[in-house]
Amino acid sequence: MKPSTSPAGTGPVPGRFRGIPALLLQTFLVVAVALPAGIAIAPAFLGPDRPSDASQTAPPWQQVPATLSAPGNDSGGIGPLRDTAPVPAGAALAAKLNETLKTDGGGTFTGIVQDAATGQVLFDRAADKARVPASNMKLLTAGAALRVLGPDRRFSTRAVAGPTPGSVVLTGGGDVLLGAGESDPGAVLGRAGLATLAQATVRALQDGTAGTGKSTGTVSVLLDDSLFSGPPLSQAWSPEDVAAGEMAPLYPLALNSARFDPAKTTGPRPQDAAMTAAEAFAARLSEAGAAAGLSVAPGVTRVRPGTSPDSTQAKVLAEVQSATVGEQVDLMLQTSDNYLAEVMGRMTALGAGRAGSGDDAVAAVLQQVKDMGVPTDELRAADVSGLALANRVSARQLTDVVRAMTSGADTRLRAALAGFPVAGLTGTLGDRYTEAASAAGAGLVRAKTGTLNTVIALSGYVVDADGRLLVFSFVGNGLTPGAANKAALDRSASVLAGCGCR
């Protein structure tokens, strides 16, 4: 089993919600994902006491809303949590978790639960033991990208005037979520479209803004994908995983996160995603140029390193911009996309002044994790997506990163919180929390999943029944392949949602 990349929201509706009308369920989802909005008001999810309705049998943040919010309501979702909410008692919580956090077959679980506001440890089972984290590694990458690049950064894909008259160079700038059609301002995947880029390029050539007068006749397309350095594949990834589509050679531009079809998030990927994108651009350029009297020469030529026009000197004909880094990080966490994670790591390295290789990505991410205040002496990283079995991260380190996101001083990290899948509703947790033992956590637990053949992990945050924000990480290694161990993690996270544990 490999990290799940099922589309958000495609899983079955949890049992506890099956009787809820679809529109009301959608509203509940809005409330569930609105939790990070409270952070913008109070960084630790904490704030002044709010009056409560004594007739309610459950606290407001754990209720399905009775009415729909009016369109355009600027209430900001749920309010900040009460700073007087009681902290669960460690002994009572441990007693419950020791009943749920049990392996099915071989292997062991480690784990930790902390109070987000104070850092108080409420549960600790070998939390400092370094373990294979699987896709929980993406939490480190998300934090590093947000710190270095910032949540509002966008990546540009440009068409620039080539070295010879009539040539156009498609230049990759780190956007691997390109769409083949027109740009979609409301999307993350496909925010920048190659058809839009081609149309703007034709207009520039037609208007003579290439600097050599109006262009007519035949246009040739070149490809500059030189932004990244080093091998496009890591030796830490098994050839079987690459062949299965868990990873592909990395380039600084690609369609659909290096997928043939944006609707299919499993199966083999293009092995030259940059050339696939360039050929799609050439096809769109041919379509757009037909009415302007321009034709496109067959084939795309990859420029040799050092021969591409200087990006600071070349005339930019047109460009399209990606979704923000914050939006891309959210997509990465929701879908657990290995390719997007590795590209984000390389862009982080470049943003930190390093070269854009896989080794630079690892070094840049580890440096940023250390700068967050997370001890990294025992942390080992072979990649930044979690596909490599050589990675070693402890449950405490993972929780330290989550706590930095929820409650730390660096507010740039808050942008990652909306990307955590919601139990039973979105992303890689969309088809979980359906059994009675874990249904109490559906809609409440927000956590990053991780899955390899003998590894599972779940790290995230939850507001308990008393209104206390808890952060947690549970990591299983040496597990029996195919055994029912995800259920143990889901039940354990649901225990946290159901506290107060006193």
DSSP annotation string for 65-101: -SSPPPTT--S-SSPPEETTPPPPPHHHHHHHHHHH-
Residue 292 confidence (pLDDT): 86
DSSP-derived letter for residue 269 is -
Strand order in the sheet with 455-463: 121-125, 108-115, 469-477, 455-463, 446-452
Residue that the structure tokens 């207009």 belong to: 203
Residue 189 confidence (pLDDT): 97
The tokens for 185 are: 């301002």
Q: Which residues neighbour 249 within 8 Å (Cβ) at sequence distance 6 or greater?
A: 232, 233, 271, 272, 273
Please state, in angstroms and as integers, the Cα–Cα distance from residue 127 to each residue in 139, 473, 475, following that order: 17, 9, 9
Instruction: Please list the residue range(s) of the chain that carry CATH number 3.40.710.10.
Output: 81-150+328-498
Q: SS3 for 187?
A: coil
Residue 24 confidence (pLDDT): 32
**Cα-based torsion angle of the residue sequence 236, 241, 243, 247 in order, rounded to the nearest 10 degrees:** -70
CATH (residue range 81-150+328-498): 3.40.710.10
**Cα-based torsion angle of the residue sequence 196, 198, 203, 205 in order, rounded to the nearest 10 degrees:** 160
Residue 206 confidence (pLDDT): 87
Q: Where are the alpha helices (DSSP H) in 34-184?
A: 37-41, 90-100, 137-148
Q: Which residues neighbour 184 within 8 Å (Cβ) at sequence distance 6 or greater?
A: 190, 191, 193
Burial label for 18, CB within 10 Å (0-12, 13-18, 19+), is: exposed
Residue 51 confidence (pLDDT): 36
How, if at all, do strands 121-125 and 108-115 pair?
Answer: antiparallel
Residue 57 confidence (pLDDT): 57
In our burial notation (b when 16+ CB lie closer than 10 A, e otherwise), range 349-358 reads bbbbebebbb
> In a structure prediction context, what are the per-residue pLDDT tens digits for the chain, which is 502 residues long?
454 433 333 333 333 343 333 333 333 443 444 444 333 323 334 333 333 343 345 656 555 444 443 333 333 333 456 678 899 998 999 999 999 999 999 999 999 999 999 999 999 999 999 999 999 999 999 999 999 999 999 999 999 999 998 899 999 999 999 999 999 999 999 999 999 999 999 999 988 654 444 455 899 999 999 999 999 999 999 999 999 999 999 999 999 999 999 999 899 999 999 999 999 999 999 999 998 889 999 999 999 766 665 555 679 999 999 999 999 999 999 999 999 999 999 999 999 999 999 999 999 999 999 999 999 989 999 999 999 999 999 999 999 999 999 999 999 999 999 999 999 999 999 999 999 999 999 999 999 999 999 999 999 999 999 999 999 999 999 999 988 999 999 999 999 999 988 8
pTM for this model (two decimals)? 0.85
The secondary structure element, H or E, covering residue 33 is helix 22-33
Residue 307 confidence (pLDDT): 60
Q: Which residues neighbour 209 within 8 Å (Cβ) at sequence distance 6 or greater?
A: 315, 317
End-to-end CA distance of the chain: 38
The secondary structure element, H or E, covering residue 23 is helix 22-33
Residue 65 confidence (pLDDT): 46
Cβ neighbour number for residue 489 with a 10 Å cutoff: 27
Residue 207 confidence (pLDDT): 83
Please state, in angstroms and as integers, the Cα–Cα distance from residue 454 to each residue in 277, 337, 447, following that order: 35, 19, 19
